[in-house]
Structure 1
Amino acid sequence: MSFPEPFASGSYLPLLGLAATTSVATAVGSWRYRNRTGGGAYVVLTTAVSVWVLADLLGYLSSTLPRAMLAHRLTYLAISVVPVAWVVLALRYVGRSDLVTRRRVGLLCVVPALTLLVSLTNGHHGMLWEVHGLSELSGMTTLSASSGPWFWVHTLYSYALLVVGAGVFVRWSLRGEDVRRPQSAAVLGAVALPWATNVLYVTGVVALPVDATPASFTAACVLLWVGLFRYGFLDVVPVARNRVVEEMREGVVVLNERDRVVDVNPSGRRLIEPDSIVGRPIGEVFAEESVERFGDVVDGGGRIGVERDGRRRHFDVHISPLSTGGGDRVVIFHDVTDEERSRKRLAERTRELERQNERLDRFASVLGHDIRNPLAVARGWTDVIADGDVDDEALSRVERAHDRIETIVDDTLALARSGDDPDPVPVELRSLAREAWANVESDAPFEADVDVVVLVDRALTLRALENLLRNAVEHGGEGVSVRVGGFEAGDDSAGFYVEDDGPGIPEGIREDAFEYGTSGETGGTGLGLAIVRDVAEAHGWGVRFESSDAGGARVVVEGVPLAGSRRTFGSA
């Protein structure tokens, strides 16, 4: 195929030298891909091309016929290998390695092997070429020869293999997603350019002074580099396509060793934006949080949350390597948003059941223990009355015992309901405080020094205020005065407090004052402040103890959302 005519200019040698440099560089660079899918065939193909170009260059620089003939035979050695390597590369790359058996590859090599045999024995039969001699022009040695019959057998067979390989790539590209087409275009272009050049020379359609096929490998190598480094040819696409199904619901993204996206399935495209992500680094595709967490993970995974269209979505992420010792990874996203929501609902329901069980335990404890004492008192004095010893003291004792039982029952029921989900409505806090004070039925001095409209559950907040006020009266002693005050806590929230000027709460019991069963020495149920705590927790408020300015007790409730713009505190 390489039968040059005299060339009138020495400019062809520099072009051939450039082709030799790029082809050798491509062959050397291909070695790193030898373990990839189709990598072995790619190494053979690029090595054969570099030998072809170097042998052609050697032929032009030869000064004797034996050297020129040696270069010519080396050229045919490389030319015979290229078509077979091309077909094997195409089949392996698109995932049809099952077709690349030793027997089939051996059959493909029959004609190339015969061509090599014919080239070595050509001097006896001239079936491949007939040499007419050497000529020299502008520093180049050209071999004048004419083609023999086996040359056309070899040429047509080589063209047929090139067509088969190209057809495999085209069919694979058209059947897949757009991400395949840039890869296929680069590789097909790298093969089509020297192929077309050779066809033009061999058929004589264009009168070329020399066979420019080797020189065209400069552009072919550039296209191969584009396919390798820009579109990830020979990275991991065929392996990933064999491992996953494009129709699977999980999103699949394939990363090469340089952490660039080389493939993505349709589900992955729906889950990840922007649309065009192939060839981009992971930092431009995934959220910063995900990159920081999984950027260096080769084999592992976890669960992440992503904000999409104003909604929080959850994904299980699994990362696995695609090649031994390489940095190629496949990332699989499984949408578990519904599962996560169900899990949270179940957890909330479990917590609610635990709270209800806790309330039932409290209720049973009160009924089984706290009510027993006043019930025994009432029964004892009832027996006295039944014996005919009726006086005001006996009746008063029975009445007080019944009142005590009623108080315990009311507080227990209030505690059982204090953890219910609140139904917030706008409430004027000063009016609610005065209503709560009226329910306490105390003659102690009282002041509601707060003027703010808050967003609360009215019934629950009223119960909490009643317990705070009753607690202040019961523990404040003789002559105690009670005050409800308020303060601003921010643009959207407020706080209020109930304080007295009594003896205050001892430091030792402040931390436990809101726990069930904690009571002072005044005979309380130990439930009042526990009710306040549960109401505050149900609303999401904070509640704490501190000392008032007068040295008494102050219970502070904070984080109460405002319902309007009235934020004036301290008015009478």
Structure 2
Amino acid sequence: MAWNVAQALILFGSTALAIWVGITAFQRQSLPGRSWLGWLQIAIAFWGATSGLHALLDSTPQRIVVSQFQYFGIMALPVCWLEFAREYSRRPPPSLPWLMWLIPAITVGLAFSNSSHHLLWREFREVPAEGFVRLQYVHGPWFAVAAAFTYVALAIGTIWMFLAIRQQPQQYRLQSTILSIALVIPWIGNLLYVGGLVPPGLDPTPIGFAASGACFAIGLFRYDLFDLVPVARTVLFDSLGDAALVIDREGRVVDSNAAARALTGGAEIPLGLPIEKVLRWWHTRPRLGVADEVVHVGARAFDVQLRPVLDPTGELSAWLVLIRDVTEREKTDAQRRALDHRLMEQQRVESLSLLAGGLAHDFRSLLQGIIGNAELAAVHCPDNAPLHESIMAINTAAERAAELVSRMQDYAGRRPQQSEDVDLSAVTLDMVTLLQRSTARHSRTILDLPPGAVHAKGDPTQLRQVLLNLVNNAAEAVKDHGTITVRLMEATGDASELSTATFDNTAERRPAADTFAVLDVTDTGPGIDPKTLSRVFDPYFSTKAAGRGLGLSAVLGIVRGHAGAIRIQSELGVGTSFRIWIPAA
């Protein structure tokens, strides 16, 4: 068998082996840089196949054409090798990746147009050998540029691979070493050819391909190449429900799992990309060393945990970032805190109501005795007697105190009621019409009543008191050129809405009606700050310089006494809104 035929068979065998290794690399999800390694093997296979065809051809023009096509594989090799080494060693991507393909593209173009400039090949010489003729290529000046580019890329990639192998655990170093040796062998043969260290026309590079394929075969079958890249760790890492990323000390992403890719849109996260470009909200966090925190991104909340990754010497080599979507948990916690706050507020109001009710009852009993005796003394004391004026002063003060006690009973919800069917539409119309006369100077009042009458079960006098206090309170808030809106409607009881309101939680006064008369009083005033808002229903609490501060507390008591509910909402700079539910008649 002629040497050229044997050489072709070896090359075709190495081509098949390279294709098999490339397909295997594409299928190994856990291998860093698997895509580039796969394309690298395809380029090797193309170079090997064209070299085998070149060895079988006798015609010089045909060999030249094959050599021209051969450069597609030759010039793709250094770029694929460099990119594979970069991803395998977890390095950031280049800022202008297309520049790496500039020299390969120019070289391929010069190969096909060589006859017009001879920059790649100056001439071709036929060299007789045993049983066949070798074709010697005399290279032109551009070949030196292409060769320099190729060997620089090879050197950089090899250094990166060497550094990556040094950082790996001992059990994974052997497979990485086999991988590096298999990829470097063909270039050693090519270096011998370019340096003129072999007979003219003899290119040992294809023999290097065969040796490279043998190394890959040994690695695959003997040392589980591509499989021992801790598969269990990869499966566990990818199966984590939380998004997980590994970043180096400079904050560049070197690994990510499926949940992290889903969090960032589902696409592959480029290795070496700064984490600020992967997670746009990352810059809102404190410095990298902060371990755990909850980050709010719009309407979503993420629990971010950082765990240090140490190398065998105990030095920090990377950070493991675990990200859990806790939006629902945060919502649940907020609802629980609001419920706890409302429960505490309810208990506080009930305690104050109980105290106020007890004091009002005792004071009313004492005042009845004082008023009765004062009136009896006034009957037996002539009008012109010196004590008559003092007796009348006692009676007046006692009556004012009795009025104050009535307000305390209103707050406690203990004031006797005349429960009847009340046309709340008519009551609202009368009260708003009456109050407009005093509020029209500095505010505008809008009344929104439904077409049909809304009826409620309660005491009309106390319900008028509620309207009086709420509208007056709104008028004082809006000051100049504000708007007060009074709206009445009938609605079914919404448990979720009522849960945000304040009401009497005792069995006999808890809001339980199916249908309610709902009264809204809204103003466009400055709003109430949260601290003041939490105390608006407290007895004797007032932000005004004068006043007894029992207006809103009395409203609360009347509403509670009617087995209703009240809710206040306020926003600074927007205004305040009161909503009252009274059981419908």
Coarse TM-score class (shorter-chain normalised):
0.3 to 0.5
